[in-house]
Amino acid sequence: MKTKKHITVLCGGQSTEHEISIVSASNVVAGLDRDKYHVSVIYISRQGSWYFLEELEEVHEAKIQKTISEKKVIPLLINPGNPKQPWVLQNNLDQQISTDCVFPVLHGALGEDGAMQGLLEILNVPYVGANVLGSAVCMEKHIAKRLLRFANLPTADWVCIDQETIDQHPYQQIADRLGEVVFVKPVSLGSSIGISKVKNQQQFDAAICDAFQYDDQVIVEKCIVGREIECSVLGDSEAVASLPGEVISHHDFYSYEAKYLDPKGAETISPADLPKATVAQIQTLSVEACKVLQCEGMARVDFFVTPEEEIFINEVNTIPGFTNISLYPKNWEVSGLPYPELLDDLIELAIARHHRKKSLSQKMSRTEIQERGEMGFPKEIE
C-alpha cells in the first residue's frame, strides 16, 4: 500500500487579503484526495502567530477565531534543521508536526511576495508555487511590467509614483500621457484592494491618498477598454497554459467589492468565447510571461482584450485564488484537468523541484570539497 503524503496547507496571514486566503484554503483542503494525503492546516493570524488545526472543518474564519479564543488550537513554533518535521507544538516541544509538502494559500504581503517562500527555503521543505524570485517580482507590479516591456511583451503604459515624487506627477500631466481615464493601484497588493478608477483631478487626488495607505509606491496605469481574460499556467521549465476564462464585472471595474462582497458583482465564464487565434496567442503570451518573470508551479496571467483583438498583459498572480469564483481551477477543469488532479500535479511539481534543487546543492558541495583539496586547505577545514 502506497504511503500517504503529509500536505500542510498554509492560510490566513498578515495581509489585507487574510479572509480571501481562508476561503481559498478551505477549497484546497476540500479538493485534496484523502486516499493520497494526510492533510493538516496551519493558520497564521493577523498578528503573525501560527496555529495548528487538526480539525479540517475549522478552515472558516469564524470557527478559527472561536477555537483560538477557547484555546482549542495549539500555537506552533518553527523547528529549523528538521525539514521533515519543521514545526513543533508550543506546549509540547517533543511533539513535532510532519510535512512532505507545503501548499501556501497566502495571498498578498508576507505570503505571496517571496517572504514565506524564503522561510520555506530556509526550512528546506518542498512548497507549491513560485520560488522566492518569481514571487517577489510578480508582486511588485512596477518591476514586473518593466520586465515584460523589456521582453517585448504587451502591457498597458504606466507611471510609477512614490511619496517623494507625488508633486512631479500632477493629474493633467498624467492624463496627457496616458489618457483622462486611468487606474491608480498600490504597487504590491492583490484582490483589487486600494485600486481606483480615476476620471478627473479630484478623483485622482483621493485615489492617490487611498493607494498610499497600502504601499509606499503606486502605479498609475492607462485604462484599456476591453474584456478581462484570465489564463492559467501549470508547470516549470515546460509549463503549459489552459483555455482562458473571462471575468464579467457588473461594477465599474472588477473591484474588491465586485469580487467578494456583492454576490452579483461579477461572473466568471470558462472557457471564454474567443477566436481560436486569440486563444492561442493568449496561451503563448501566458507561458512567455511566466518564463520572463521566473514563475514556477502555478500562475494566473490576466489580460485585457480590446474590441480590435489587441491583447495586453495586466499582471501575473503567483498564488491565484481558489475560491468558488476563481478561474485558475475552473480554466483547468474545462481544459480537461479535474480539480483533484490539478492539486496532485501542483504537489508533484513542488516535490520534484525540491529534489532537483537538493541534488544540485549536493553536487555543488562535493565540487567545493574537491576544489578545497586541490588548493591545499588543511583537512580540518574540509
Q: What is the pLDDT of residues 276-319, one digit of tens each?
A: 999 999 999 999 999 999 999 999 999 999 999 999 999 999 99
Q: Do domains 5-128 and 157-222 have the same CATH topology?
A: no
CA 43 to chain centre: 17
Q: Which phi and psi (to 5°) does residue 299 adopt? A: -165, 155
For residue 381, pLDDT beyond 50: no
For residue 368, pLDDT beyond 80: no
Contact status, residue 141 vs residue 313, Cβ threshold 8 Å: no
Global pTM value: 0.88
Nearest to 357 by CA among 368, 349, 346: 349
Structural domain 5-128, CATH architecture? 3-Layer(aba) Sandwich (3.40)
For residue 193, pLDDT beyond 70: yes
Q: What is the mean pLDDT of residues 191-211?
A: 86
Residue 382 confidence class, pLDDT cut points 50, 70, 90: very low
**Residue whose grid cell is 472561536:** 66
Angle in degrees, CA 181, 187, 190, rounded to 5: 90
Whole-number Å distance between alpha carbons of 129 and 354: 11
Domain ranges (residues) in the chain = 5-128, 157-222, 227-337
Could you confirm whether domain 227-337 is CATH 3.30.470.20? yes
Highest mean pLDDT among 61-65, 82-86, 100-104: 100-104
254, HSE (Cβ side, Cα atoms, 13 Å) = 23
Comparison of pLDDT for 30 and 60, the residue scoring more: 30
Structural domain 157-222, CATH architecture? 2-Layer Sandwich (3.30)
pLDDT for 264 equals 66
Residue 258 confidence class, pLDDT cut points 50, 70, 90: very low
pLDDT for 189 equals 67
Contact status, residue 177 vs residue 210, Cβ threshold 8 Å: no
Residue 2 confidence class, pLDDT cut points 50, 70, 90: confident
Portion of the chain with pLDDT greater than 70, in percent: 88
Whole-number Å distance between alpha carbons of 198 and 176: 14
Portion of the chain with pLDDT greater than 90, in percent: 63
Give pLDDT tens digits for 218-242.
999 999 999 999 999 999 989 999 9
Comparison of pLDDT for 38 and 369, the residue scoring more: 38
For residue 190, pLDDT beyond 70: no
Task: Determine the length of the chain.
Answer: 382
